Amino acid sequence: MNIIISLALAIIPVVYLLYYFYKKDSQKPEPIGLIFKVFFFGVLGVFVAVFFEVLVSILKPFFAFSIITYIGFEAFVVAGLVEESVKLFIVKKSIYKNEKFDEIMDGIIYTIAVSLGFACFENIIYVMGSGISVAILRGVTAVPMHAIMSGIMGYYIGQAKFASSQMEEKKLIRKGLKIAILLHGTYDFSIMILKVLPGLVWISIAFVFVLIYFSGGHLNKLIKDAKMFDRAEGRS
């Protein structure tokens, strides 16, 4: 019974957030089939990310001269850089050139769908090995953070789709990726540091919720901006 409850708790936050953000795309909703397609690619992205994380982890000993640099490398490079790059790659290869990707808002929605597919499978793996308490904690922290940081990256991917030049397109995509890596790394670092400083647990938890609150608020602002730009350009 505990396994069933844990599995449900791992999946429910993902389903809720996918529905929540899909409803935000009220001006010109995307086809459900495409949403689930990129979501499924996000699930597969976990395997790609694990491969590259193992590969990049070979470099970890070079950053072992202090615990801060070691954890920083693990949080910002092994996790942040690799996972957000994989999500970006999936969006670029699976939907970016699709004719249905015709709004800035679409960049947000499709990138969130990819990230939630990734988060869903990752969540199931963690929860199956740890139980209900971890399922609840990840459901209110890790899963929303995946959606938020990738959603912010998705805004810049959406802008890049309609950039005036190839140089501007690449610049916007790099900007979105850098922000996602920074948020991802900051979140992971605040959790990983507890391995060596367990006494900071309540400070770490408080920081994570503050991070979710402010980055989530920023994403909501970007969603409003995306809708405004799309209306102004006649895309919606």
Instruction: Annotate 202-230 with b (16+ C-beta within 10 A) or e (fewer).
Output: eebeebbeebbeebbebbeebbeebbebb
Residue 154: how many other CB atoms lie within 10 Å: 33
Task: Report residue 1's pLDDT band, with 50, 70 and 90 as the boundaries.
Answer: low
pLDDT tens, position by position, 143-180 = 999 999 999 999 999 999 999 899 999 999 999 999 99
- Of 154 and 1, the structure prediction assigns the larger pLDDT to 154
pLDDT tens, position by position, 108-138 = 999 999 999 999 998 888 877 676 777 788 8
Work out the mean pLDDT of the chain and round it to a whole number. Answer: 93
Task: Report residue 35's pLDDT band, with 50, 70 and 90 as the boundaries.
Answer: very high
pTM: 0.94
